[in-house]
Amino acid sequence: MQTMKIGNNDVVLLGTAMPPELPEGSHVMTATIELPPGDPGAPPHRHSGPVFGYMLEGELLFELEGEPERVIRAGEAFWEPGGDVIHYQAANNRPDRTSKFVVVMVCAPGKEMLTYVSPEELEQRGHRRAPRPN
């Protein structure tokens, strides 16, 4: 994390990303999501546009296609590019407490914000998934 000054205010930079150009007609949604203790989150899915998030409480087990799974903790930011990338996991990593995060999601025009991936497609694209921990 980096701290910088804007006017008289200290600003903590949580992360940066270079998302793709947004098509005309895109819209943005901001939401909070709470996962009960141990909740596995949504099944594998993809988003029509980029998603930016910030963990408010707890821990999130997070996995995108082509990247190893990782734990995002309260106070950390995350992002995903959306589009064709499968989002495998966004699970509560804590069995003993709720996890809560805020997301800003860019939705492509005329498309759903989230679409589930079929078991057949998961099998076809299995070679793109990072190795799983033992």
- End-to-end, the C-alpha distance of the chain in Å comes to 30
- The CATH number that domain 24-128 falls under is 2.60.120.10
What is the token pair recorded at 78? Answer: 């995350």
CA 12 to centroid of chain Cα atoms: 20
Q: In terms of pTM, does the model score above 0.75?
A: yes
Consecutive 10-residue runs of the chain (134 residues): their mean pLDDT? 74 74 84 96 93 96 96 94 93 97 91 93 94 77
Residue 130 neighbours by CB under 8 Å, 6+ apart: 63, 66, 67, 68, 69
User: Per residue in 104-126, pLDDT tens?
Assistant: 999 988 888 899 999 999 999 99
CB count in 10 Å sphere of residue 19: 15
